[in-house]
Structure 1
Amino acid sequence: MSDRLLTRLSFAFVISVAMLSGWMCPQNAMAVDPDPVDSVAADSSGSGWSGSDSAVDVPVSFELDIQPILAAHGCNAGACHGKQRGQNGFQLSLLGFDSDFDYNALVHQSRGRRLSVLAPESSLLIQKATAELPHGGGRKIEPHSKSFTKLASWIRQGAPRRLNDEPRLESVKLAETEFSLSPSAEAQLSVTAHYSDGTEREVTELTGYLSNDATVVAVDEQGRLKAGPIPGETAVMARYMNVICVANVSIPRTEKLPSDFYAQQPRRNFVDALVYEKLAQIQVQVSQPAPEHVFMRRAYTDIIGRLPSPEEARQFLDSDAADKKAQLIDRLLQQPEYVDHWANQWADLLRPNPYRVGIKAVLNYDNWIRQQFRDNVSYDEFARRLITAKGSTWHNGAATLYRDRRSPDEIATLMSQLFLGVRLECAKCHHHPFEKWSQHDFYSFAAYFGKIGRKGTGLSPPISGSEEIMFVSNKGEVRHPVTDEVLAPQPLFGSAEVADRTDPREALAEWMTSPDNEYFAQVQVNRVWAQLMGRGIVDPVDDLRSTNPPSNAKLLGELAKHFQETHYDQKALIKTIALSQVYGLSSVPNETNQGDRLNYSRHYRHRLRAEVLLDSVALVTETADSFSALAPGSRANQVWTHRIDSVFLDTFGRPDENKDPPCERVSDSSVTQTLHLMNSRQLDNRVRSDAGRAARLAKSDKTSAEVVQELYLAMFSRRPTAEENVYAEQLLNAAGDNRRAVIEDLMWAMINSPEFIIQN
């Protein structure tokens, strides 16, 4: 062998060793400019990239080819290298939202040892992905697969950051977005990516999929849908890079309803027509109308947060008026309890931590919220007053919002969720994994709150007793956390120009409450619907996004339109829903709707809200509650801070005051709640109180039949059945001098019954 040949072989060996050890960076070995905006020469067509996958020698794009491979195989997922600190020293941006960061991590970090241009298949990136070298994530890419070949081609071409005239990914579309499948049937999703130069590419194999309910419809890694064995419906998300599209999949019942079934059903307003239309599509039959006493009890607890008294129950049940339900709803909407019941629900969303902002500020805030409901302030005006609040926390309770939330990013997260139903929290750190919102979107939205100034001593937990004044400063900015760019205030979509306004929040309030902003009306309509119907059209109620579609989009849209047309009058909205036929349906299922939890073919049972249940106990036992920091006889719905102790309210799910609003209550029943009702000394004392209902009835000259009827009207808002009447009368007639003890035992048993605790 000649000396010259030996020299060449030795030089090649040294270069290879240097590349693998990281001594020589690949960009130097590849003669590639280390600037992360390198490009390769364009091909004969004038472009450096082709949407076709057919040829390995076609220039490969990092953003359009390599990042989709990493995303499709889970390399940049939250459980792998996309987590906050990466995995084993190698970090990628979550789901590829930051291309520059990912390129730098692959090509420049660790002295470039992850890539080998002289031997692409031996690159650490490929060796790990194919499990040729030990890899905690196992084998992600099969050797010599399309993904393998594409990665190797990119490395061989010099691992460029960009190509000449490289197009942008503009949209991703499903060939079909609506599927109706038979039980256990299968179907294939087909996904196409569209680019700024007019090209398109079939990307089904590189798309990630997620079913909102895999028990109804499952989806595999190739986009193959598999229907479950029972009727139902769900949404399936398809994500290609940071672009998302959604397919709605339903499994109707195979047994058909009579074609004229819904044509014969009563319709009270547009709500019924839209619910019936959806139910007809999935071949589900509505339950029978609820008995009158069930409707009455439902309306009382939903609208004013208490049970009807025995006298009120008799009046409704004995009325022969054709419009008595409408009369009842009108009367309830005028009751003072309406204010406390609905203000209490909004206080959950707005109530700050008293240990942070001070107890006086919390009291003023709570009073402000209740006053808005007393004045029946329209919802859009209510929102504007909160968004633009300023002044002293001791004089304008709404200003307390900005005492609790002190940085623009905190305020942006709260405001978007409250008034738009958009959960922006994820976009604070990275591109939202289930939506279109980016970090730029988040911090541009937060910039509307950049000029909020504060005068005072600030916070001093756990006391924070001082006054603080909110004002609009002439300075203040919000910067992008990655680029450090100062961002101008921008809404999430559309336009909300600040122009010459001294307070940017005024422009935001106008944009947010504009009729063109469909999110604003929809999120509040959805909240009210959920309170009255047991489940939101979108669930969770404040999570409106394409990957969490409404169960009835037409219904949500028409309710929002109605809300706008009535000038955002919540009472008008409540009345429309409460007078619909579907609101008055029974919760008892039939053979067709036993599995329905989305389409309101029946009323959905749920436990009474903690405050409603406690006020109901006070009403039926005729014993007043006693809360610290409240006047004697105050109701649970009037409690203005969770620092007021109540074991009962805590047991039945009122939020922890130390958690961030919006506070989400736990609506599920628990063993603790059952044990509390059975064993609480306070509850037992109320039943046995000398000033309570049991003692009064025992001392009265009422007959056993009259006592039994009053108990059932008070507890269940109905008269006893014949069997119940005979049994209870026998107990009372045989009691003799123990009449009071028997009444107390009956009351205790009725309070512990599901009929008392659950709204049917």
Structure 2
Amino acid sequence: MGIAPAAAASLFETSGPTTTANDIDQAVRRRLNRLKLAAAPPCSDAVFLRRAFLDLIGTLPTADEARQFLNWNKANKRIALVNQLLSREEFVQYWGMKWCDLLRVKAEFPINLWPNAAQAYDRWIRESVRENKPYDHMVRELLTSSGSNFRVGPVNFYRAMQSNTPRDIASTVALTFMGERVDRWPAERLDGLAVFFSCVGFKGTREWKEEVVYFDSVKAVDEQANGNLAKAVFPDGTPASLDGQVDPREVFADWLICRENASFARCAANRIWFWLFGRGIVHEPDDFRSDNPASCPELLNTLEKKLIASKYDCRELIRFIVSSQTYQQSPVPRSDSQQADTQFACYPLRRLEAEVLIDAICGITDSTESYSSAIPEPFTFIPEQQRSIELPDGSITSSFLEMFGRPPRDTGMANERNNQPTSAQRLHMLNSSHIRRKIERSESMKTLIAKFQKNPVQGAAEIYLTVLSRYPTDVELAVVEQYAKGSIGKRRAAFDLVWALMNSSEFLYRH
């Protein structure tokens, strides 16, 4: 196995464009020019490889996958890699996890879906991602479906709330699909939206904890008779015409997802951008309001139009974003201005999500995790081989996930996930027996350590490819060789190298 030469200028950058500029890049560059901010150069192939794997499938590349990409001479290999990743099952699981966070898939308090309903909801969400269901179709099903919450996954949208009064439903709808927090709305605006959900009925069955969500046509007739349906007003201020015969949810869904309603596509596009960059063009992605404007309005308009033109194909929008020069920038800013991050003059650094981090650690060490739930039901049993990004219920968790900021899924708000590093997290990675045992007991680590003992240079290269998805630089190799020659011994030196790389910012952070 050969050792690739170190990057000429920087480990994280390369010279020259790596892809053709698209409409995203033109919008961002115009904004940067007006603000006199310099854009970062393109990232290196090694950085792009790791970034694309983590952002698209929440998974690290294997050493073989890293080696193949880094040694691949295909002209458009980055685009080819993106297309491969978008077709992998891990894409379904990882992006399904993101939608599950937003849609509050959780069995226990305060959501109280119960395990079998949570799993039905989770299956519907991930299957929608798998079949690349258009986003507007997906939202329409969430808003208008009726049936058992154990059997009809999307009806759990109405169950996955801390309260299901019409006003509370309206608040959740505005937050989820319009990115607006109704605590800043005038009362009459919320009341006008709540009318559309005043005829949502809930009834139990003989099966324990099962509930049927339906359009209560009897109540609709009464609501029409007393004039309440006439009070329905769309969030843009347009009065609605409800006759009591048609489910008001369908009328609202028609308004929400129509192509002329820019707020729907704008919110969705901004959320997808947020999931890829860790920062929304409107930030937070659920805080659209007049006094929180988009950092780059032209960019948001570009994404909105792209999503509508693609007929709400989220996968196509993701491909469009990841193929841009803006996404493929180095994480090292060319300006000290705080606006470099907000204006996307470089790729924003951020810590790996709790689920992705523990999956990465388990993948490197071919180990497993144990998960548990406060609900003692068979539905909450999770095989240890299952990855964290595949967990079907927010109440199934582990001490690691809790420590590293996994969201509780109580509200669906983006700020529920806490990716801020803490001293407890650092100590756990540095000193815990949990991490040490994974390395010491790993058969794949034993194989790598054996390679290192035979040839420290070749072994170090394989360890770097496994942990950091890149080849070591000449300087790094020299340090490793020197350390291996010391009294500590080659076996201990190899173990320490794995441990040190897993505790490095380069491993713990997206870059």
TM-score (norm 1): 0.60
Q: What is the CA–CA distance in structure 1 between the aligned matches of 2:499 and 2:293, rounded to whole Å?
A: 44
User: CA 1:487 to 1:653, structure 2 compared with 1: closer, same or farther past 3 Å?
Assistant: farther
C-alpha distance in structure 1 between counterparts of 2:440 and 2:173, whole Å: 47
- Structure 1 residue 719 and structure 2 residue 471: aligned? yes
**Structure-2 change in CA distance of 1:265 and 1:295 (3 Å):** closer
Deviations 1:339-361 (A, max 9, x none): 01011011111125422221211
Decide whether the 8 Å contact of 1:534 with 1:603 is kept in 2: no
Alignment-derived partner of residue 198 in structure 2 = 450
Aligned to 2:502: 751
Counterpart check, 1:372 vs 2:128: yes
Structure 1 match to 2:88: 335
Greater fraction of residues in helix: 2
2:188 equivalent to 1:440: yes
**Per-residue Cα deviation, 1:337-396 (whole angstroms, up to 9, x for no partner):** 000101101111112542222121111111111111111111111100101121011111
Identity of aligned residues (%): 33
Kindly report the root-mean-square deviation, in angstroms, between the aligned alpha carbons of the 2 structures: 2.5
Work out whether 1:576 is the aligned partner of 2:320. yes
Q: CA deviation at 1:642?
A: 2.9
Distance 2:481 2:239 in 1: 70
Deviation string 1:30-55 (CA, Å, 9 cap, x unpaired) is xxxxxxxxxxxxxxxxxxxxxxxxxx
Larger Rg: 1
Name the CA distance, whole Å, in 2 between partners of 1:465 and 1:305.
Answer: 36
Once the two structures are TM-superposed, the CA of residue 438 in structure 1 deviates from its matched residue by: 2.2
SS of the residue 1:453 aligns to? strand
Q: CA deviation at 1:422?
A: 1.6
| Matches for 1:484-499 after TM superposition, within 5 Å | 488-493=231-236, 494=238, 496-499=240-243
- How much does 1:686 deviate? 0.2
1:407 shift after superposition: 1.2
Shift of 1:309: 0.8
Out of 155, 163, 177, the position equivalent to 1:399 is 155
Amino acid in the other structure paired with 1:471: Y
Give the letter aligned to residue 202 of structure 2.
Answer: R
Letter in 2 for 1:309: T
Give the aligned partner of residue 89 of structure 1.
Answer: none
The answer (yes or no) to whether the contact 1:563–1:569 under 8 Å persists in 2 is: yes
SS for the counterpart of 2:342 is: coil
Pairwise CA distance, 1:607: 0.7
Superposed CA offset, 1:681-730 (max 9, x none):
211110111x3332122345852222101111111111001111122233
**Which of 215, 232, 244 is residue 472 of structure 1 equivalent to?**
215
In structure 2, do the counterparts of structure 1 residues 450 and 475 end up closer, same or farther at CA, with 3 Å as the change threshold? Answer: farther
1:612 is aligned to 356
Match of 1:538 in 2: 282
Contact 2:51–2:510 (Cα < 8 Å) also in 1: yes
- Shift, 1:403, TM fit: 2.4
Preserved contact between residue 351 and residue 366 of structure 1 (Cα < 8 Å)? no
Matched position secondary structure for 1:604? coil
Out of 402, 409, 412, the position equivalent to 2:167 is 409
1:560 pairs, out of 283, 304, 308, with 304
Q: 1:715 to 1:439 in 2, by over 3 A?
A: same
Q: Which letter maps to 1:422?
A: E
CA drift of 1:551 comes to 0.6
Cα distance in 1, alignment partners of residues 83 and 55 from structure 2: 13
Q: Deviations over 1:218-263 (max 9, x none)?
A: xxxxxxxxxxxxxxxxxxxxxxxxxxxxxxxxxxxxxxxxxxxxxx
Residue 203 of structure 2 aligns to a residue whose secondary structure is: strand
SS class of match (1:660):
coil
Q: Deviations over 1:276-304 (max 9, x none)?
A: 10011111111121111111111110000
Aligned counterparts of 1:498 and 1:718: Cα–Cα separation in 2: 60
Aligned pair 1:550/2:294, yes or no?
yes
Counterpart CA distance in 1 for 2:240 and 2:470 is 54
Cα distance change of structure 1 residues 735 and 686 upon mapping to structure 2, 3 Å threshold = farther
What is aligned with 2:12? none
Q: 1:478 to 1:627 in 2, by over 3 A?
A: farther
Q: Does the aligned pair in 2 maintain the 1:285–1:592 contact within 8 Å?
A: no
In 2 relative to 1, CA 507–757 (structure 1 residues): closer, same or farther, beyond 3 Å? same
Q: 1:418 aligns with which of 176, 183, 191?
A: 176
The answer for the alignment partner of 1:598 in structure 2 is 342
Task: Letter of the 1:742 partner, please give it.
Answer: A
Q: Deviations 1:390-424 (Å, cap 9, x if unpaired)?
A: 10111112112222332111111111111111211
Q: Unaligned stretches of 5+ in structure 1?
A: 1-263, 427-431, 459-463
How do 1:224-263 and structure 2 match up within 5 A?
none
Alpha-carbon deviation of 1:457?
A: 6.0
What does residue 363 of structure 1 align with?
119
CA drift at 1:679: 2.3
Which SS does the other structure have where 1:381 is aligned?
A: helix
Higher relative contact order (CA 8 A, sep 6+): 2
Assess if the C-alpha contact under 8 Å between 2:134 and 2:313 holds in 1.
Answer: yes
Partner of 1:585: 329
Once residues 391 and 305 of structure 1 are traced to their aligned partners in structure 2, the CA distance between those partners, rounded to angstroms, is 33
Conservation of the 8 A alpha-carbon contact between 1:490 and 1:496: yes
SS in 2 for 1:357: coil
Partner of 2:378: none
SS in 2 for 1:686: helix
Partner letter of residue 423 of structure 2? Answer: V
Higher strand share: 1
Cα 1:496–1:487 change in 2 (3 A) is closer
Aligned to 1:354, the other structure's residue is in SS state coil
Q: CA deviation at 1:680?
A: 2.2
How far the C-alpha of 1:636 sits from its partner, in A, is 0.8
